[in-house]
Structure 1
Amino acid sequence: MSALDDLHDLGVLDRQVSECRACPRLVAWREEVARVKRAAFADETYWGRPVPGFGPPDAPIAIVGLAPAAHGANRTGRMFTGDRSGDVLYAALHAVGLASQPTSTHIGDGLELYGVRITAPVRCAPPANKPTPQERDNCRPWLAKELSLLPVRVIVVLGAFGWQALLPVLSAAGWSVPTPRPRFGHGAQVTLAAPRQQDRPLHLLGCYHVSQQNTFTGKLTPAMVEAVLTRAKDLAGLGG
């Protein structure tokens, strides 16, 4: 039996996530970044640990990214907080009524999410933003447990890495993932039939990742992110 099997509280899960040291390469990297720092943040104390999910425990929408940014969430301790990717994501969440403000700079800045929880398949900042398959798999139980504790009806997946990491989690939880597995794409929508204990299907929505590579080149615009989030709201019954 997994040590997580008897865990039924998101707050406890978040604390356990933040103490994980399962991947030596990621532990060494996140701690080195926190020690050396970026010049612009030289006076700040970096979080330098795994980053837990962020959002209310009754959220029907989950947003799944990739991993914390070295000088973003690895610095601030909150998903998509303190970097350019977060600037785009939280502005879009605010624009569609899922966040209390359009900016996310640090824990304690007053930001609240409405009906959304943001998480990732890898909780430590990886070198070059590229976790290994083994690191992804080591982290999988955290994501699986987190999603099992949420009344999730819609999952917005930011990027192909998150999509590919998520599908095995959902399949193991009993959701009917098609074979062959659905491919990621911006605007992709897949509806999974519910496990026996669930009474509603689960909707997966694909969205290009809010990375600078995508947003600076125009591959992903704010309007495109807002359109996916609006669709998520409607599917979750939060529209209007």
Structure 2
Amino acid sequence: MTKNMNLPAEAPADCDLCPRLVAYRSKNRLEHPGWFNGAVPSFGDEKARLLIVGLAPGVSGANKTGRPFTGDWAGDLLYDTIGKLGFSNDQYGAHPNDGLELKDAMITNAVRCVPPANKPVGAEVNNCRDYLAARIAALPNLRIILCLGKISHDSTCRALGMKVKDHPFGHGSEYNAPNGLIVVSSYHCSRYNTNTGRLTTEMFENVFSRAKELMEAVSA
């Protein structure tokens, strides 16, 4: 599933695989020395049956706080949704010391370092894929991977050895994956998608409800 099976599930905070991201991180450290400014680690339950895969840290969200989807609009919708579905203790307060705990779920990103303009290039997604594959492999109870957005979907499929052309991204798409896993995908919960109406709260919650339904079915 990954080219380097000895790779840890989390990238080092000062990961140097992507020169453009390292330069951007250095710039942010100079401008905001109190921010996390590093490769953001996954967050959640190590016994999770559900893994949520986002795109990359937001510059003033996870890059600032050091926790995925924490401190930005996308996180408000995501954490509200997983709270409603019972995947957390519903204590999200938009900062890493809010007491939030995930239940049977973990959140990670396809790219662990913040990219300029929130847009990683292909080489950066490729460089980080081994960490995604290692994260997937490190979850012994994993059943469902829920991908947020096309980049996340495509990178997850590749990490699992699945051909993207045979498993195209679509909101609400579902595919059987190796090792009994199921890949479910949604439009990303970005402000752009919600403001334009491409993604509604109901649509987002429906995908999570379906993921939970599948998780319980395959775990039975």
Fold shared per TM-score above 0.5 = yes
Q: Residues 43-95 of structure 1, C-alpha deviation per residue, up to 9 Å, x if partnerless?
A: x8100001011111110111111100011000000000000110010011111
Superposed CA offset, 1:128-162 (max 9, x none): 11111111111111111110011211011100111
By how many angstroms is 1:13 displaced? Answer: 3.9
Cα pair distance change 1:178/1:51, threshold 3 Å: closer
Q: Could you tell me how far 1:5 is from its partner in structure 2?
A: 3.3
Q: CA RMSD in A?
A: 2.2
Q: Which residue of 2 aligns with 1:187?
A: 172
Amino acid at match of 1:224: M
CA contact (8 A) 2:91 2:98 kept: no
Distance 1:167 1:6 in 2: 20
Task: Flag structure 1 segments of 5+ consecutive residues without an equivalent.
Answer: 38-43, 172-176
- Give the structure 2 partner of residue 154 of structure 1: 144
CA distance in 2, matches of 1:213, 1:179: 25
Q: Specify the alignment match of 1:36 in structure 2.
A: 31
Inter-CA distance 179–232: structure 2 relative to 1 (3 Å threshold): closer
- Asked if the contact 2:110–2:125 (Cα under 8 Å) also holds between the matched residues in 1, the reply is yes
% same residue: 39
Task: From 12, 15, 18, give the equivalent of 2:13.
Answer: 18
Query: Which residue in 2 is equivalent to 1:210?
Result: 189
CA contact (8 A) 1:144 1:169 kept: yes
**Match of residue 145 from structure 1:** 134
**Structure 2: which 5+ residue stretches go unaligned?**
none
| Higher relative contact order (CA closer than 8 Å, sequence separation 6+) | 2
Structure-2 separation of matches of 1:123 and 1:182: 24
What SS class does the counterpart of residue 106 from structure 2 fall into?
strand
- SS in structure 2 at match of 1:86: helix
The total of aligned residue pairs comes to: 216
The equivalent of 1:86 in structure 2 is 75
Letter in 2 for 1:18: A
Secondary structure in structure 1 of the residue aligned to 2:197 = coil
TM-score by length of structure 2 reads: 0.90
Q: CA deviation at 1:217?
A: 1.8
Give the stretch that moved more between structures: 79-88 or 228-237.
228-237
Matched residue SS, 1:214: helix
Distance 1:145 1:104 in 2: 29
